[in-house]
Amino acid sequence: MPSLLDIPRELRDQICIYALLSPIAPPNIDSSFEELTEPRRIYGNPRLRAWSKVVLYDPANSTITPPSLLFVNKQMRHETLSNLELINRLPNCSMDLVIADEVVLLPTWTQIPYRHAPKFDTVDVTFRISGVHDKGKEYPFGFYKGWKGGDGGGPAMGWQLYAVLERFIRGGTNAEMRTPEAHLHVTAKTIRVDVQTPPGIDPKRFSPWPISALYRRKWRVEGADMLDPAFLARYVEGHIRGLLSANDYEWFNYGQILYEHLDEVIVCHDGVEIGRMDVVGCLKEREVESKYFSQQQMEEYKNKAWRLRKLRGLNVLDNTSAVK
């Protein structure tokens, strides 16, 4: 009976790479809120700047186990290590992100490199919706979560999304870090977010605004009890665009992490692109209207950002001092 070692090396490499890149199964969005959240917890370290950190991670999901191909025999070990080196030169990774009952975010890495990497080519994020809003599910997570507003900070969901992004840049695909100050400065050429419509749902059930944000029942649409994926996609696109382009100092302050670690962000709805943000172009044009932040300070920050981007292998403008 022929074995794997009997076929040509080129074909064997293709099989090996296919096996190494096999995705991890994402959660079943038809599961109950308790089934989705029970094995998860909110990470502590590193200390994030996001105002709301109601993001539940599965600690086992970030554990990188050695591929079984490494233990077949010496030849397969050598070939597998060679293929891993090829994959890890500028790896991709994939995340499944579930918003459960309009309250919490549940990230799951569905494809991660064999070694924790500081640089990625593409990060694909599939954003899915599970369940409907239930007040009883909110209480364990404090007041500021989901689509609740507070203290001028806008909906908490914006900060929960920011927390997912911030943790990736500071820790990559790692689980909880050891210290509050830990920062790996992980970079990505492209982050692509695709908000997907839940299958088999009557479109009439999609509410034009999150149910948890409609404090008065009279504001609700009859029969609409589920978060609208089109709304969610627009919200994600608008929030990221605000971080990169708004002339408010607070937006700029929190958007700096994008300027220093990303090349572009693409947002899609069911695979159809609805927004593409070029970070270099946004940084070049960014101005801030604030009595607390002068034009000179902005120029100093931009020069610093260009230098950091060049150092980290990201795109820079040809006419900036960072590339001279």
| SS3 annotation, the chain | CCCHHHCCHHHHHHHHHHHHCCCCCCCCCCCCHHHHHCCCECCCCCCCCCCCCCECECHHHHCCCCCHHHHCCHHHHHHHHHHHHHHCCCCCEEEEEEEECCCEEEEEEEECCCCCCCEEEEEEEEEEEECCCCHHHCHHHCCCCCCCCCCCCCCHHHHHHHHHHHHHHHHCCCCCCCCCCCCCCCEEEEEEEEECCCCCCCHHHEECCCHHHCCCHHHCCCCCCEECHHHHHHHHHHHHHHHHHCCCHHHHHHHHHHHCCEEEEEEEECCEEEEEEEHHHHHHHCCCCCCCCCHHHHHHHHHHHHHHHHHCCCCCCCCCHHHC
Q: Measured between alpha carbons, how far is residue 108 from residues 53, 164, 173 in Å?
A: 16, 11, 10
Q: How many domains does the chain have?
A: 1
pLDDT value of position 67: 74
Domain range for 51 is 32-276
pLDDT value of position 324: 37
Residue 105 counted as domain residue: yes
Q: Measured between alpha carbons, how far is residue 149 from residues 154, 158, 214, 215 in Å?
A: 5, 10, 11, 11
Residue 289 counted as domain residue: no
Residue 77 counted as domain residue: yes
pLDDT value of position 154: 84
Question: pLDDT (tens digit, 0 to 9) for every residue of the chain, 324 residues total?
Answer: 567 777 888 888 888 777 777 788 999 999 999 999 998 999 999 999 999 999 999 988 876 666 777 778 888 888 888 887 777 777 889 999 999 999 999 999 998 877 777 899 999 999 999 999 988 888 888 888 999 887 677 899 999 999 999 999 999 998 789 999 999 999 999 999 999 999 999 999 999 889 877 665 656 777 889 999 999 999 999 999 999 998 888 899 999 999 999 999 999 999 999 999 999 999 999 998 888 889 999 999 999 999 999 999 999 986 554 443
Residue 78 counted as domain residue: yes
pLDDT value of position 54: 94
Residue 132 counted as domain residue: yes
pLDDT value of position 65: 66
Per the CB < 8 A criterion, the answer to whether 111 and 119 are in contact is no
Residue 306 counted as domain residue: no
Residue 140 counted as domain residue: yes
Residue 136 counted as domain residue: yes
Per the CB < 8 A criterion, the answer to whether 155 and 198 are in contact is no
pLDDT value of position 321: 45
